[in-house]
Structure 1
Amino acid sequence: MTEAPHIVTEETVLSFARGHRLQHDRVRDLWIIQAPEKAFVIEGAAPHILRLLDGERSVGGIIQQLEEQFSAPREVIVKDVLALLSELTEKNVLHT
């Protein structure tokens, strides 16, 4: 029996899965997600989004903070945030 996919909504509260963490590589000036025996380079808006994950704030709260921080339309921010967090949840980098 397969597990139902986790649907990320504005009410979802996420944190990094065990063994995963966000880290800034100062030498290369890159943001990476450290994971057991691998690392993911993240670019664009992703570091701004992932730095707000704390296991307490909802996705909607993250979107609201990004709205205040950047001058992008809410619908663009919502689309980008939900797409990124859904993809990382499916890859078991993030969990509820």
Structure 2
Amino acid sequence: MSTILLQHPVIRRGFRLQFEPAQGCHVLLYPEGMIKLNESAGEILKLVDGERSVATIVAELQSRFPEAQGIDEDILAFLEVAHAQFWIELR
């Protein structure tokens, strides 16, 4: 099992996830600006709460979207990018 699956991601301090009606999507707000998220990224980040492990997030999204082939790889790839961009921390 990959060690990332055991991690508990949390949105980094200074960032806030919210739905922005004017944009019609979820956004990640931070003091210097805003990151407009696509629907998939918004669904993933809504589950990032510091309580759920990456494995739990993957399992929950797989159960919600059973028709999505390879969703686990997409979720892991997104979380790796979000971590590299300093949007989230892995604990």
TM score, norm. by length of structure 1: 0.84
Q: Which moved more, 1:55-64 or 1:25-34?
A: 25-34
> What CA deviation, in whole Å up to 9, does each residue of 1:29-66 have, x standing for no partner?
12110012111001031111110011010000001101
Hey, which bits of structure 1, 4+ residues long, moved more than 2 A? none
Higher helix share goes to which structure?
A: 2
- 2:74 is the counterpart of 1:80: yes
Aligned length in residues: 88
Check whether the contact 1:8–1:85 (CA below 8 A) recurs between aligned residues: no
Structure 1 residue identity aligned to 2:45: L
Task: Please tell me whether Structure 1 or Structure 2 has the larger radius of gyration of its CA atoms.
Answer: 1
What amino acid sits opposite 1:19 in the alignment? G
Q: Could you list the runs of 5+ residues in structure 1 that have no partner in the other structure?
A: 1-6
Give distance in 2, aligned partners of 1:57 and 1:20: 18
**Considering only aligned residues, what root-mean-square deviation do their CA atoms show, in Å?**
1.6
- Kindly, what percent of the aligned residue pairs are identical? 30
